[in-house]
Structure 1
Amino acid sequence: MNLFEKIFNYRMMAQLEEHGALAVTAQERRWLLMMLEHPEAAAALSPDTLDKLRQCLGCSDERNDSLRSVIVEKAGSAVPSLYHPLLRTLRQMIVKKSGMQLRHTRKDGFLLPSQTGVPYKLEYSMVKREWYLLWYNRRTRSLMTTRLRSIHSVEEMPVSMEFFNQAAATLAQQLEKRMQHATIEIIPDYNKELSRILYAFSCFDKQVQYDELSDTYTIKLTFLGDETEYVLSKLRFLGLRVRVTDHPYMKFRMREAAQKSLARYGYSSALETAEHDNGVMAAEAE
């Protein structure tokens, strides 16, 4: 790409950003057409949003028949629906900064009495493959995490802006205490696979930095403590492409997995350090 092409592209992107426009590729239009044909589209999107999307795509000559013939899943395992009927209701409460009255069941199926609080955030657990509601319990003044499938009923309840801001600040502090942070370094030989590596961690909050001198990308991940095992599974999948630099427990677990693999193929001496560090690292993780 020469200098004039770079200047033209910069001006074009600046104009799009200034007018609030978004450049959409033909593949993205075909994907959107397929999404609108999904049976759950009518429940997941509001009627106004559906009409707008269909009007925008109505003038397009794109057809998704060829793409549909390519994207075919064979012998796939049964996966629960990603959409839950309460998602839109709770999301609207969060946007409007309103309170709620909630009834939900415990793990043993017992229906708890109605509780009041403030909805804070919706999260999807990649480990358990279900939606969770993070909310502020007005009685206990604490952070609660409830599965959407455990919610029996929820009703909107107006609250003052002062109370909502106070509850949100309290939840943010309590949630930060449950967060884990890890720095993952990409080995320079695999920089060309940056997109693939970032996709593996796409469901987590992250920051990417690049050191020009060492030609090294660094990913700073933020995740809940109970999602550590899922992050470890992604690290094992990426193998030699990445290296954990600052999380002692995750470094120990990765070393332990490598040593057990070596021992399976006859390198029993590799387990000496694992047995020595096992108690120390397990205590640190707790």
Structure 2
Amino acid sequence: MMRITAEAVSVEIGGKPLLDGVDLEVRPGELTGLIGPNGAGKTTLLRVLGALRPPGSGRVLYDGKTIARRERPALARRLAYLAQGGEAHWPLRVERLVALGRLPHQGPLGRASAEDQSAVERALQRSGVEHLRARTLATLSGGERMQVLLARALAVEAEALLADEPVAALDPHHQLRVMDLLRAEARAGKAVVVVLHDLSLAARFCDQLALLHRGRLLAQGRPESVLGDRELASAYGVRVLRGMERGEPFLLPWERLEAGERP
């Protein structure tokens, strides 16, 4: 299974740093959460990890090796990426859209095999959208579109899955379903990275967290070490309430902190 390592990754646009010397190791069998306030660099880092954007400096290693341009097709079979927003610009039926996830596995003629169809069926069922298979994207809600696009990413059956805010448009029931699914992918041995804003979901489901603030890595490690009062006050400017339910933690952002109250 794939291990992804970012070493001193920096990115800037127009002289503005988006990432500044970020080190991160994404290990197989773990669900890694990228958290931080708006504009912290989470999506930029995810795109760099997914080889969709080159770092300005530093490097990303896949199983200890950099990826040359000629090796990108092979990487597309090993790494699946789910962008935020739930956008798709094709008037396709859901089943056909999910089948696009199998393109990296198909030859030049793009002929689907029996295994491709089986992978599509598994993805539809696991993401809970099999009942939508005959619908077109234009007829779906934002939350339904995101679930369908997650199914497309699952259909790749890659060794690593990178998901950018996959629960942002979902109701609480489906948020929990998706997080259960991502954790199951990790437990199956895959390297899974998810961008999250919900701190309780991050605390409950993730094996490790990377807290970004102004493009830098403010804290990294187990959720209980990253989600401390000082770290959350520094990054988000909030004070949280904490609790436990059935041995699992939850956090509720409770009040904003003024500038003078932040560490």
TM-score, normalised to structure 1's length? Answer: 0.26
Bigger Rg, which one: 1
* Higher RCO, Cα 8 Å, sep 6+: 2
Greater strand fraction, Structure 1 or Structure 2: 2
